[in-house]
Structure formats: C-alpha cells, structure tokens
C-alpha cells in the first residue's frame, strides 16, 4: 500500500530509523528495516558510522547488495572485521556501542520489549526469544525499537520483559545496575515515540502522514503522552528515497 505522496510506510520508517543514527557512532543494526536504515545513514548524514552484526561482523560500508539475513555472503565480503560473535558482543560489555536496533512482539509505556511469550486467556504462546536483543537493550547506550503500531502490541505492561527499556520508570536502570543505557525511541507504522528523560515514559514526538494524534492514541494500550511540539513526521527526501530504492529495488523489505 502506498501513501498518496510517493513512498510507502516502510520507506518512511527506514528514513525515521536512519535519522536516529549519528555520525561516528557504533550501531548494532539488527535485521530487516535497520539494514536499510544503516545503508541510508551511511550515504547521507553519518558517513563515519560503523555497523555491528550479531553473527560477528563489523562494517564501515553498507553491504553492496540487499541483505535478507545478516549472514548473507555480501555482508561478509568486504567486512571491516569478520570475527566471532563473542568479540562483537564483547564490544557491548565494554560500553563501546552507541545504539542498538531491536524489534518485538510487544512494547510498553516504558519501552520494555517482549519477544518471549504472549498470552490469550489461558493459552500462552512461545515466541522466538531474545537472541542478542536483551544484551543490546541492556548494554548499548541507546535502544531504538521498530514495531508495528497496533493496540495488541502497544500494551500498558509487556507480558514478559525480554529486553528492558526504561523498566518501571525513573532511575530504573541505575537501580538495577544498567546505568549507561536507555530506551530512546520507538519507530512505528504510525509515528515516532521518544522518552521523557526524567520519568522514562514514552511520548509521541511525531505522527506519520495520514495519521493524527487521535489515531495513534487509539492504537496504544495506555494513555499516551504527547510532546507539546508533536508534529507530522518529516517526509523522506528525493535523495533518501533514491538510496532506499537503489538498495531495495524490488521492495522486499519496503513494500
């Protein structure tokens, strides 16, 4: 489905994700849309950013071809560092990773993510689990989540805390021994949420075209706070769309 403009919701999410990457940062890129967000950031405002991949790779240039998994041969060929997973995860432990992208089945008002279990009545469904997401959430300096914005996913409190964001609010991470990290953004199919630095609670920063504050709130399972300067998400530029479509010409991830 296309917006009336000339880009898809997924392309807008890629652009919003790329904007979270700062020049010179070390970024755990994750899978799917973050793969393209890293390529976009490297080709625009963050040429000195480095991308980390959980399977043991570090890249200072995006893969020359579209990636379907982080272990695809184009991601290995030309890597700055091809090592073992333990060495890459060790960078997290040392406090050297500036930002990490992760996804989830549920997210709550404090940015905690669940990829372990969801319940419907008496039935509990097992999900894929953490992988490296809990490590990324605990040890990177900033956590950015990408998730479809639906009321069943945006819940008051996640069923299971797989990857901690801001816990139960103010000073949570310092209290439990995770002083250097925090949930900083959630990029959704409806908008972009930031987090209050004092309370740790999610705050709507922007709503995507064809959305409003009310439509975003309607698909959120708590009384979502709204920033005083909340506005429509800035649309992708022509250059940004060209880069995305050059990298994903068939729209495998972005259609």
Give the mean pLDDT of the chain: 93
Tell me the pLDDT band of 5, cut-offs 50, 70 and 90. low
pLDDT (tens digit, 9 = 90+) per residue, 83-111? 999 999 999 999 999 999 999 999 999 99
For the chain, give every domain's residue range. 9-247
Q: Per-residue pLDDT for 3 more than 50?
A: no
Span 222-236, average pLDDT = 96
pLDDT (tens digit, 9 = 90+) per residue, 28-72? 998 899 999 999 999 999 999 999 999 999 999 999 999 999 999
CATH number of 9-247: 3.40.1080.10
Please report which helix (H) or strand (E) contains residue 203, including its range: strand 202-207
User: CB neighbours of 49 closer than 8 A, spacing ≥ 6?
Assistant: 21, 22, 23, 24, 25, 26, 27, 38, 41, 42
Statement: the pTM of the whole predicted model exceeds 0.85: yes
Cα–Cα distances (Å) from 29 to 141, 183, 220, 223, 233, in that order, read: 14, 15, 26, 30, 22
Span 241-248, average pLDDT = 96
Q: What is the 3 state secondary structure string of 103-139?
A: CCCEECCCCCEECCEEEECCEEEECCCCCCHHHHHHH
Known catalytic residues are: 54
């Amino acid at each position: 489905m296309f917006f009336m403009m000339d880009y898809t919701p997924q392309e807008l999410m890629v652009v919003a994700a790329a904007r979270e990457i700062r020049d010179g940062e070390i970024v755990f890129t994750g899978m799917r849309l973050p793969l393209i967000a890293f390529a976009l950031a490297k080709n625009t405002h963050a040429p000195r950013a480095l991308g980390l991949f959980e399977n043991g790779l570090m890249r200072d240039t995006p893969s020359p071809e579209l990636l379907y998994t982080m272990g695809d041969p184009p991601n290995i060929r030309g890597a700055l560092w091809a090592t073992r997973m333990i060495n890459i995860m060790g960078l997290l432990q040392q406090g050297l990773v500036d930002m990490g992208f992760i996804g989830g089945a549920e997210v709550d008002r404090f940015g905690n993510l669940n990829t372990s279990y969801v319940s419907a009545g008496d039935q509990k469904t097992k999900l894929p689990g953490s992988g490296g997401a809990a490590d990324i959430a605990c040890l990177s300096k900033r956590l950015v989540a990408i998730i479809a914005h639906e009321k069943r996913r945006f819940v008051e409190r996640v069923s299971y805390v797989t990857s901690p964001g801001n816990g139960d609010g103010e000073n949570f991470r310092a209290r439990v021994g995770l002083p250097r990290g925090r949930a900083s953004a959630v990029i959704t199919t409806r908008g972009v949420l930031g987090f209050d630095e004092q309370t740790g609670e999610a705050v709507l920063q922007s709503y995507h075209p064809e959305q409003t504050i009310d439509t975003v709130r309607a698909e959120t399972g708590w009384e979502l706070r709204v920033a005083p300067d909340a506005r429509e998400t800035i649309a992708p530029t022509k250059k940004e769309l060209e880069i995305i479509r050059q990298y994903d010409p068939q729209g495998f991830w972005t259609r």
